[in-house]
Structure 1
Amino acid sequence: MRTKYIDLIDQTFDFPQDEFNLVEDRLMFHGIDLMRLVEKYGTPLKFNYLPQISHNIQRAKGWFRETMNNIGYQGAYHYSYCTKSSHFSFVMDEVMKNDVHIETSSAFDIDIVKKLNEQGKLKDGQFVICNGFKPPKYIDNIAGLIEEDKLRVIPIVDNTQEVQDLLAKTDKDIHIGIRIASEEEPKFEFYTSRLGIRYREIVPFYKAILENNPRVKVKMLHFFINTGINDNSYYWNELTKCLRVYCDLKKVCPTLDSLNIGGGFPIKQSLAFDYDYAYMVREILMQIKRVCSDNDIPEPNIFTEFGSFTVGESGGAIFRVLHQKQQNDREKWNMIDSSFMTNLPDTWAINKRFIMLPINRWNEDYERVLLGGLTCDSDDYYNSEQHANAIYLPRFDRNDPLYIGFFNTGAYQETVGGFGGLKHCLIPEPRHVLIQRDQEGKIHTEIFSEEQTANDFLKILGY
């Protein structure tokens, strides 16, 4: 009988895959021996494989470039990175190697933009797309960036008042975008996004407030789908409505020349992941080109805002199975040396799925288990609700520790989990390691941050 863990994977998935393969019974990730990483740095451990960031940016640029050339698309393509996915300097440094633009979401984002510009990583003339609802501090910072007149700043107005607020804070003319309040997918708890201006109100808003204001030029229509770019009727229906508004607005607004198809590409959540990125790019651009031709208007420049797609597949976390508890006839709990709620919070908050694989012992028999975290909270677990199916791992052996890895965790987990701050039950932030390659392709690792200590927590708590 084929009862080894490697047999299970071979029977269930195509394996090895581009980023995963085995050497003996040890898992390799992009050619990195993860057990060596564990032996050097211990667990729990978080890491970022930085070359994957540039790799994904260049993949997307290539899909758009090739499709535009093949179909004769006349507009330009601009890749922008959503800083909210991960604000870390090591992420931004890698992102900015690739001649991309920035999308911001809040006031302090602008301070990061200024720092990048001062350091020469964000070049003069690059775009800064300012999204989100804009409280006074965010308005002030955007106006300050416009006043510096180095970067091409495009505030995406979320409501009609924001234009007046910006004009009151700067004497310069401003270029703006307008965000569409798209309809949410049918299963959502409400019908229309809380962000943006409703479809039917955009052209009247332009005619009433913007058309005769010489200080404002509308350059962009911003279309965002919360579920991301997916090949389903919901996405195509919303894109069709967006293009209808773009054409109507372009006919009365000659300065409009760009369409921002916000909402990112999905990333790999299991070994069975199957998504044809090139096909989706071609279908989107073909639809835009066709609608513009039918309406006799020029094809817009295309902006994308990819956050999770940019940084998600660079991240990972490794835990050790400390103990196994047989709680009833059917349920075995493998307890890890960290917490899902605090260090992979999306598994708890939204049942987010990540790729989960053992790091070692692939040639041993497997068993079905549940995974439990260290906090006292009953929600601190990872099971088939979060995972793509039941969880199978090599059998627990107290004399031969099992290590498990969660992959493609690079977006949002640190910011949602509160990096460097208090954690539920005072579970510490793991040690965080950066992985890079030199020009010869050799792997280099360095510690970005150490595991939190008791003194770190005591200081925050005021002791």
Structure 2
Amino acid sequence: MNTKYRDLIEQTFYFPQEEFKLEDNELQFHGIDLMKLVEQYGAPLKFTYLPKISENINRAKEWFKNAIKEHDYKGKYNYCYCTKSSHFEHVLNEALNNDIHIETSSAFDINIVQKLKKSGKLHKDAYVICNGFKRDQYISNIADLLNEGHKNCIPIIDNYEEIDLLSEQIDDPYKIGIRIASEEEPKFEFYTSRLGIGYKNIVPFFNKKVKDNPQVELKMLHFFINTGIRDTAYYWNELNKCLKVYIDLKKVCPSLDSLNIGGGFPIKNSLAFEYDYQYMVSEIVNQIKLTCEEYEVEVPNIFTEFGSFTVGESGGAIYEILYQKQQNDREKWNMINSSFITTLPDTWAISKKFVMLPINRWNDEYERILLGGLTCDSDDYYNSEQNTNAIYLPKYKKEKPLFIGFFNTGAYQESIGGFGGLQHCLIPQPKHILIDKEKDGTLTTKVFSEQQNAEDLLHILGYDRNK
């Protein structure tokens, strides 16, 4: 009987895979020697593998290039990065090396845009697509960017008052988009997205607020589905309704020339992950073209706003199994030396799955376990209910340290977890490493942030501010 962990994985999945390989029975991720990383920097440890960001951007560009050629599509494709997925400078710097554009969500995003422009990372002709509900500071920052001459800053109108608020502060004529309030799947707690303007209200809104307004030019219709871009009847039905709105708008608004289909490409969350990206892109491009041909209007330029897809697969987290607790005759708890709530908050908040694999001891026998975090919170765990299938790891042995990795964690986890701030139960935030690749293929590492210490947290809490 094959009882080694390696046998389990190789019998269950196609393994090794493009990014996961074994070297001397230890896991490598994109050629990174993970045990060497642990030996050098310790654990718990967060890391970002920067080249993966550029790789995914260029994969998507290639899929759209192929689809445009296949269908003889006359519009252009523009890749935007959704900054809310990760605002870090190292992420934006890497992403902007690939001739892309930016999508923002709030006021301080514009401050980042200004920094990127000043450093020469973001060129003056780049699109800055401004989404979100716009409060006073966001309105002012958008106006500043436009008044400075960044003509391709396009605020996406989310509610009926935003045009008036923007026009009060913007000096010259400016371009806008309008966001469709898409209808959610039947299983959702509500029927229509809180974001945007309803399907039936968009043309009347245009006629009332835009059509005869010499300061405003409508250029873009924005469409996003909360469940992402998936090959389902629901997605194709919503896309079809969006295209009908585009057709109706285009007939009364010749300046409309762009369709923003938002983000939503899934990322790999298990070794069994399958998704035909090229098929989905090709079919989206084809559906847009066929609809426009049917109603005899020009096809739009296509924009996407990929966030998780851009940065998600670049990230990882490594923990050490500290101890095993046998709580009853069936449940064994492997305790990690950190907290899921603070370092991978989506596992706790929305039961999100990530690829989880041991770093070492692949030739050891395995056992079924539950994974627990260090906080005194009953929800600080990652188990079979959240992970769909049971968790198996090499058997716990006190004398043989076991390290485990969670992969493709690069989107949202740091910002949701409150990077640089307080952590639940004051469990310190781990050290974070940036990994890059030289032209000759050599991997380089540097520390982005050290693990938090007591002084960091006490300062935030105010204990030393009066000294």
Please state which band the TM-score falls in when normalised by the shorter chain.
over 0.9
For residues 205 and 70 of structure 1, what CA distance do their matches in structure 2 show? 36
Gaps of 5+ in 1: none
Q: Could you tell me how far 1:56 is from its partner in structure 2?
A: 0.1
Residue pairs, 1:12-411, within 5 angstroms: 12-411=12-411
For residues 135 and 288 of structure 2, what CA distance do their matches in structure 1 show? 33
1:431–1:447 contact (8 Å) kept in structure 2: yes
Could you list the per-position Cα deviations for residues 71-107 of structure 1 after superposition, in whole angstroms to 9, with x for gaps in the alignment? 1000000000000000000000000000000000000
Q: Could you tell me how far 1:150 is from its partner in structure 2?
A: 3.0
Equivalent residue number for residue 432 of structure 1:
432
For residues 75 and 236 of structure 1, what CA distance do their matches in structure 2 show? 20
For residues 153 and 173 of structure 1, what CA distance do their matches in structure 2 show? 12
Q: Could you tell me how far 1:186 is from its partner in structure 2?
A: 1.1
1:126–1:151 contact (8 Å) kept in structure 2: no
Q: Could you tell me how far 1:380 is from its partner in structure 2?
A: 0.1
Identical aligned residues as a percent: 67
2:146–2:153 contact (8 Å) kept in structure 1: yes
Q: Could you tell me how far 1:160 is from its partner in structure 2?
A: 1.4
Over the aligned positions, Cα root-mean-square deviation in angstroms equals 0.6
For residues 24 and 455 of structure 1, what CA distance do their matches in structure 2 show? 40
2:261–2:304 contact (8 Å) kept in structure 1: yes
For residues 138 and 359 of structure 2, what CA distance do their matches in structure 1 show? 44
Q: Could you tell me how far 1:64 is from its partner in structure 2?
A: 0.2
2:322–2:334 contact (8 Å) kept in structure 1: yes
Q: Could you tell me how far 1:151 is from its partner in structure 2?
A: 4.8
Q: Could you tell me how far 1:201 is from its partner in structure 2?
A: 0.1
Could you list the per-position Cα deviations for residues 122-144 of structure 1 after superposition, in whole angstroms to 9, with x for gaps in the alignment? 00111000000000110000000
The aligned amino acid for 1:251 is K
For residues 151 and 165 of structure 1, what CA distance do their matches in structure 2 show? 18
The aligned amino acid for 1:439 is K
1:270–1:388 contact (8 Å) kept in structure 2: no
Equivalent position SS for 1:288 = helix
For residues 150 and 110 of structure 1, what CA distance do their matches in structure 2 show? 12
Q: Could you tell me how far 1:386 is from its partner in structure 2?
A: 2.1
Q: Could you tell me how far 1:385 is from its partner in structure 2?
A: 2.1
For residues 151 and 164 of structure 2, what CA distance do their matches in structure 1 show? 21
For residues 220 and 321 of structure 1, what CA distance do their matches in structure 2 show? 51
Q: Could you tell me how far 1:70 is from its partner in structure 2?
A: 1.5
Could you list the per-position Cα deviations for residues 362-399 of structure 1 after superposition, in whole angstroms to 9, with x for gaps in the alignment? 00100000000000000000011221410000000000
Number of corresponding residues: 463
Could you list the per-position Cα deviations for residues 395-421 of structure 1 after superposition, in whole angstroms to 9, with x for gaps in the alignment? 000000000000000000000000010
2:151–2:174 contact (8 Å) kept in structure 1: no
Moved over 3 A (4+): none
For residues 278 and 335 of structure 2, what CA distance do their matches in structure 1 show? 41
2:355–2:408 contact (8 Å) kept in structure 1: yes
For residues 324 and 312 of structure 2, what CA distance do their matches in structure 1 show? 30
The aligned amino acid for 1:61 is K
Q: Could you tell me how far 1:174 is from its partner in structure 2?
A: 1.1
Equivalent residue number for residue 454 of structure 2:
454
Equivalent position SS for 1:273 = coil
For residues 431 and 254 of structure 1, what CA distance do their matches in structure 2 show? 53
Equivalent position SS for 1:102 = strand
2:181–2:192 contact (8 Å) kept in structure 1: yes
Equivalent position SS for 1:283 = helix
Gaps of 5+ in 2: none
Q: Could you tell me how far 1:287 is from its partner in structure 2?
A: 0.3
1:101–1:128 contact (8 Å) kept in structure 2: yes
Equivalent position SS for 1:194 = coil
For residues 226 and 148 of structure 2, what CA distance do their matches in structure 1 show? 32
Equivalent position SS for 1:221 = strand
Equivalent position SS for 2:290 = helix
Q: Could you tell me how far 1:171 is from its partner in structure 2?
A: 1.6
1:261–1:305 contact (8 Å) kept in structure 2: yes
The aligned amino acid for 2:126 is Q
For residues 230 and 369 of structure 2, what CA distance do their matches in structure 1 show? 32
Q: Once structures 1 and 2 are overlaid, which stretch shifts more, 225-234 or 362-371?
A: 225-234
Q: Could you tell me how far 1:24 is from its partner in structure 2?
A: 1.7
The aligned amino acid for 1:66 is N
For residues 375 and 272 of structure 2, what CA distance do their matches in structure 1 show? 31
Specify whether residues 151 and 414 from structure 1 end up closer, same or farther in structure 2 by C-alpha distance, changes over 3 A only. farther
Equivalent position SS for 1:439 = coil
